Structure 1
Amino acid sequence: MKKIIIGFLLLISSLAFGQKNLQVLHNKKVVGKSLIDSTEIIGVEYIFPERIHRTFLDTTSGYLTVQTRRLSKNGKWLKNNGNIIQYDLNKKSLLWNKKIAYQVSSLQQFSNTMIFTVANKSSCLDISTGNETWQVKNHIYYVDPIDNIGIGYKFKSSTGYTNELEGINLKNGKVIWKRDLNREFGWNDIFYTNDSTMIVVAAGLHSININNGKGWDYNTVTGKKDYTGTVAKNAVGIAAGLLTGTFVTSTGHNLVRDVVSNSLVDSSFIYLASKEQLSKIDKETGNIAWKYPLPNGLSSKSSIFMNDSLVFMVNKGYAFMGQRQLNFGKPFIAAFDRETGKQKYLAIINVKKDPILGFKLLNDEMYLVFKNRIEKYSTETGNQILEKEFLDENYGDLKYFVGDQVFVANENDDLVSLPQSDTSKLFVFTNKGKTLSVDTQLNVTDTIEYENLSISYLQTADYKFIANDKQSLIINAKGKRVAEIEATTNAFLIGETLYDKRDKSFISVDLKGIIKNE
């Protein structure tokens, strides 16, 4: 056993040292053209020795942090090893690099603060040299970059990670406050109610003053322990962290998590649905304004939204075990009085192993999309109005309703938001890359192929950036096409410079003279 431990420690130690032979090449490259005067748009391409996994650009220093990570030979799986490379874009020089083992390590960066976590220890690295400036026995999960405070759970050698949450001064690694906060079912969300008070959604709601750790607690159940292996066999697919919204994942192999809704916040209250109840919480004091108990065994991952007088709940009928989605609870829709919490209706959708994949409101009616059918309900009564199956094998399985960020060319070849192009229609994406145009009687009126769709991924006061595969159009506020460039939906804009990554390349494009950032 000691040999295994020593070998593991040697692996971690060896990964901390940098390689001296890495090279980063750079050259100018034509990346597009102006559609106003046909002039070429020139960018700078930085070519790294391996596939780029993640990047972070600190604009104050001009330092680019690149994490590399290769794919398996078949391109389906990420390998566990890679490199952290720190590169100075201004001087076009390599500053430092070190290896990273992704199965035991992670890197987070916030402005000029770099947190490197290996196993149960988090270290702060000097961004110029890569040298460790301090270390704590704590996995720092979240950083407040303004107050320069990191938060994470204390690790004890005897028991592992505890429920003791610590606030850590990122300048020196000193613990400045401690607070007990249940981590059993993971964290689902973090948001702020003012400059210094954050709300953590984790087995309830918890207000935390980032400077001293104080605040109120609202505790509720957001998961299930000791879930049986036979039921877990229903688990399918892999849920990406960005889709589940989970910051800190529960670690137990038999723990079901994410039996919770999004948080709704108005001027005075926070609304949250859990496994046991829907509640309205005073966001200043944590006092419960009202709560409505939900029927046992029904709740799952859900979405809540409201109009002037009602809070609506769409219960999806699934949850997560680790990163795997499984059928859990039952799909239902419900409505509650916003002031009193009194239930107006709760309509159970009596199906098995068929969760709600998406919902959309149109003219006081709610449409629910399932794998092979769409149902329409009255938001006033909760009664079903219409149901239709979609079994045409040419369509494929239904996936979700298309959002306003999806664009299509109209008859004048102008790019317009697809849902806004005909607000009387529903647009549903399928697993065969088709988008179905569906009328209010659930008839398919048109089919749009994936290659004819574009995604709006960036927007300034005057311009939209809309990508189709690896090409982007820059469109002004009047809908006029200004420029065409090589850029994907990964691209981001800082000032008047667009940055993008492609396999081993990181590209910067100065758009000065083509756009103006107002």
Structure 2
Amino acid sequence: MRRIFIGLIILISSVSFGQKRDFQITHNNEKIVGINLIDNTEIKGTEYIFPERIHDTFLDTTNGFLTVQLRGLRKEKWLSNKGNILQYDLNNKNLMWSKKIAYQASSLQQFSNTMILTVANKSNCLDIRTGNVIWEVKNSIYYVDPIDNIGIGYRFKSSTGYSNELEGIDLKSGTVIWKRDLNREYGWNDIFYINDTTMIVVAAGLHSININSGKGWDYNTITGKKDYTGTVAANAVGVAAGLLTGTFVMSTGHNLVRDVVSNSLVDSSYIYFASKEQLSKIEKETGSIVWKYPFPSDLASKSSIFMNDSVIFMVNRGYAFMGYRQLDFGKPFIGAFDRETGQQKYLTLINVKKDPILGFEILDDEMYLVFKNRIAKYSVENGNQIIEKEFPQENYGDLKYFIGNQVFVTNEKEDLISLTQSDTSKVFVFTNQGKTLSIDYQLNVTNTIEYEDLSIYYLRTKDYKFVAKDKQTLIINDNGKRIAEIDATTNAFLIGETLYDKRDNSFIAIDLREIIKNE
């Protein structure tokens, strides 16, 4: 993946580098982690046991180094603010170095042979073998291009704090190789690439950036709103959640409504994008506006857009965010626009105040919309409402969202299949009571599925899928047949033919060749 994001917190702290303390780390090559359901044999893995709860890990398979962030719990409930970083050599079974970390003030991120530790307003590149600082910059690096080995972030100035001056930094030397002004007022919503060297940053519009030179075009538009009804201390909000959530440091000191923006749709030549101001079609190479459909100032909110060969569809949800808090904003509507000209085909306002659209699903050219306590169905062709039905809170709780393809259930043959594929004539809605409602075309509830009957499909190989329930994973083939059951969570990841997972204070490696050899 080309995109690696580093969430940072802007606080004042100090940290020591390259220390080595005594940590008791043991390993067990014969850990029983599951059972092969084909021949009923035990499955074994290698377990590495660390002295404290594992908060995060990074595995460098080239060198065989495992970076472990330890972070315990206070009163067995709250995450501790302090912890340790350990660099462990899996091949030689020894601790290479360790250092303390203050999680409220620091963030660690890695890729390939590069390790970036950010403390307060400085980013430090650490030697992966010793933990010593190779270079330091006054810049909170939060995005890294691992192929070109370039990091980007906003420059910190002692006199003014964080500016709009974005810098590209050579991660080998820490040298600033380019600078460019880029508005951060409403935060960053997304980053994606349009070719090998050019990224698009979604931040108060769209901005193309050549990762090597910093050059590119700008399409500026409004993706938030300043709220002067209250103020917050300037620079009090850090980048803990990352710019992509829109919570980066705001130098204005005003409460700010963010995320008044859609996803970006990209085809071979154009980008389609909605903001608070307008829905636009932008030339991908030049940033020129092909067409735009303007919105009244009080209409747009967080939205979703999708398209077919000739039409751009828009679902305006009727909410936005202030910090992490969702608030009613704009007006819910669905719309359709000609893909070539931007001409409106329909725009259907949903005139219910303080009842935003929580999710949508397309089925047989009909759009299902879920709200807190009702579901409505509209024609995709003309935007007209077909049917609407209330779902009283006392009977169903609050409706939350439509279930996706990643949710699996067991069928009558005891095979695991996707819930949405089990009956393609239905839509499935999850509630705050942990129940899933099966909804037919008349919006009747035909079945209620309990939470404990659901599993999550989170990983696959060429021939196998990994489906987890709680802390157990079933490995199934493409027909849903169960091959093996292992102790692994949805956090497990695959490198080559080895599955890795962390649990409490353990890191476990499982060679999958032993699981599927007899299938």
With the shorter chain as reference, the TM-score category is over 0.9
Q: Secondary structure at the match of 1:329?
A: coil
Could you say if the C-alpha distance between residues 471 and 376 of structure 1 is closer, same or farther in structure 2, counting changes exceeding 3 Å? same
For residues 355-410 of structure 1, the C-alpha deviation after alignment (integer angstroms, 9 at most, x for no partner) is 21110001111111111111111111212111111115353211110001111011
Counterpart residue number, 2:173: 172
Q: Secondary structure at the match of 1:513?
A: helix
Counterpart residue number, 2:248: 249
Letter in 1 for 2:111: F
- Of residues 192-201 and 61-70 in structure 1, the stretch that sits farther from structure 2 once superposed is 61-70
Could you say if the C-alpha distance between residues 394 and 367 of structure 1 is closer, same or farther in structure 2, counting changes exceeding 3 Å? same
RMSD: 2.1
What are the residue-to-residue correspondences of 1:479-494 with 2, within 5 Å? 479-494=480-495
User: Following TM superposition, by how much is the alpha carbon of 1:248 offset from its aligned partner in structure 2, in angstroms?
Assistant: 6.1
Q: Distance in 2 between matches of 1:491 and 1:70?
A: 20
Counterpart residue number, 1:145: 146
Counterpart residue number, 1:5: none
User: Following TM superposition, by how much is the alpha carbon of 1:327 offset from its aligned partner in structure 2, in angstroms?
Assistant: 1.8
User: Following TM superposition, by how much is the alpha carbon of 1:26 offset from its aligned partner in structure 2, in angstroms?
Assistant: 1.6
Q: Secondary structure at the match of 2:304?
A: strand
Would you say the 8 A contact 1:304–1:314 is kept in 2?
yes
User: Following TM superposition, by how much is the alpha carbon of 1:447 offset from its aligned partner in structure 2, in angstroms?
Assistant: 0.5
Counterpart residue number, 2:7: none
User: Following TM superposition, by how much is the alpha carbon of 1:317 offset from its aligned partner in structure 2, in angstroms?
Assistant: 1.3
Q: Distance in 2 between matches of 1:227 and 1:348?
A: 28
Q: Secondary structure at the match of 2:261?
A: coil
User: Following TM superposition, by how much is the alpha carbon of 1:84 offset from its aligned partner in structure 2, in angstroms?
Assistant: 1.4
Would you say the 8 A contact 2:168–2:176 is kept in 1?
yes
For residues 420-440 of structure 1, the C-alpha deviation after alignment (integer angstroms, 9 at most, x for no partner) is 110100101111111110111
Listed as ranges, the gaps of 5+ residues in structure 1 are: 1-8, 233-239
What are the residue-to-residue correspondences of 1:28-177 with 2, within 5 Å? 28-73=30-75, 75=77, 77-177=78-178
Counterpart residue number, 1:272: 273
Q: Distance in 2 between matches of 1:513 and 1:10?
A: 48
Could you say if the C-alpha distance between residues 160 and 73 of structure 1 is closer, same or farther in structure 2, counting changes exceeding 3 Å? same
Could you say if the C-alpha distance between residues 11 and 202 of structure 1 is closer, same or farther in structure 2, counting changes exceeding 3 Å? closer
Q: Distance in 1 between matches of 2:126 and 2:214?
A: 25
- Of residues 476-485 and 280-289 in structure 1, the stretch that sits farther from structure 2 once superposed is 476-485
Counterpart residue number, 2:499: 498
Q: Distance in 2 between matches of 1:11 and 1:178?
A: 25
Could you say if the C-alpha distance between residues 354 and 80 of structure 1 is closer, same or farther in structure 2, counting changes exceeding 3 Å? farther
Does residue 476 of structure 1 match 2:477?
yes
Q: Distance in 2 between matches of 1:394 and 1:25?
A: 52
Normalising by structure 2, report the TM-score.
0.92
For residues 266-313 of structure 1, the C-alpha deviation after alignment (integer angstroms, 9 at most, x for no partner) is 010001100100000011111111111012111111110011111011
Would you say the 8 A contact 2:17–2:131 is kept in 1?
no
Normalising by structure 1, report the TM-score.
0.92
Listed as ranges, the gaps of 5+ residues in structure 2 are: 1-9, 233-239
Counterpart residue number, 2:6: none
Letter in 2 for 1:206: H
Q: Distance in 2 between matches of 1:201 and 1:216?
A: 12
Q: Report sequence identity in percent.
A: 76
Letter in 1 for 2:354: K
Counterpart residue number, 2:214: 213
* Larger RCO: 1 or 2 (CA < 8 Å, sep 6+): 2
Q: Distance in 2 between matches of 1:290 and 1:481?
A: 52
Q: Secondary structure at the match of 2:257?
A: coil
Would you say the 8 A contact 1:95–1:128 is kept in 2?
yes
- Of residues 380-389 and 403-412 in structure 1, the stretch that sits farther from structure 2 once superposed is 380-389
Q: Distance in 2 between matches of 1:434 and 1:126?
A: 49
Letter in 1 for 2:51: P
User: Following TM superposition, by how much is the alpha carbon of 1:110 offset from its aligned partner in structure 2, in angstroms?
Assistant: 1.2
Does residue 463 of structure 1 match 2:464?
yes
What are the residue-to-residue correspondences of 1:49-448 with 2, within 5 Å? 49-73=51-75, 75=77, 77-229=78-230, 246=245, 249-251=248-250, 252=253, 254-448=255-449
Q: Secondary structure at the match of 2:480?
A: coil
Would you say the 8 A contact 1:15–1:101 is kept in 2?
no
User: Following TM superposition, by how much is the alpha carbon of 1:260 offset from its aligned partner in structure 2, in angstroms?
Assistant: 0.5
For residues 4-32 of structure 1, the C-alpha deviation after alignment (integer angstroms, 9 at most, x for no partner) is xxxxx998335557461322222131001
Could you say if the C-alpha distance between residues 452 and 241 of structure 1 is closer, same or farther in structure 2, counting changes exceeding 3 Å? farther
Q: Distance in 1 between matches of 2:90 and 2:322?
A: 42
How many pairs does the alignment contain? 498
Q: Distance in 2 between matches of 1:431 and 1:445?
A: 19
For residues 23-57 of structure 1, the C-alpha deviation after alignment (integer angstroms, 9 at most, x for no partner) is 22221310011111111111111122222221111
Would you say the 8 A contact 1:227–1:256 is kept in 2?
no
Letter in 2 for 1:246: T
Letter in 1 for 2:213: N
Q: Secondary structure at the match of 1:254?
A: strand
Q: Distance in 1 between matches of 2:267 and 2:513?
A: 40
Q: Distance in 2 between matches of 1:187 and 1:293?
A: 22
Would you say the 8 A contact 1:113–1:124 is kept in 2?
yes
Q: Distance in 1 between matches of 2:61 and 2:18?
A: 26
Q: Distance in 1 between matches of 2:425 and 2:127?
A: 55
Q: Distance in 1 between matches of 2:102 and 2:17?
A: 9
Could you say if the C-alpha distance between residues 108 and 215 of structure 1 is closer, same or farther in structure 2, counting changes exceeding 3 Å? same
Letter in 2 for 1:310: V
Q: Distance in 2 between matches of 1:11 and 1:186?
A: 22
Letter in 1 for 2:62: T
Q: Distance in 1 between matches of 2:167 and 2:91?
A: 37
Could you say if the C-alpha distance between residues 25 and 513 of structure 1 is closer, same or farther in structure 2, counting changes exceeding 3 Å? closer
Q: Distance in 2 between matches of 1:342 and 1:84?
A: 56
For residues 229-275 of structure 1, the C-alpha deviation after alignment (integer angstroms, 9 at most, x for no partner) is 49x9xxxxxxx959x95276353550111110101000100011001
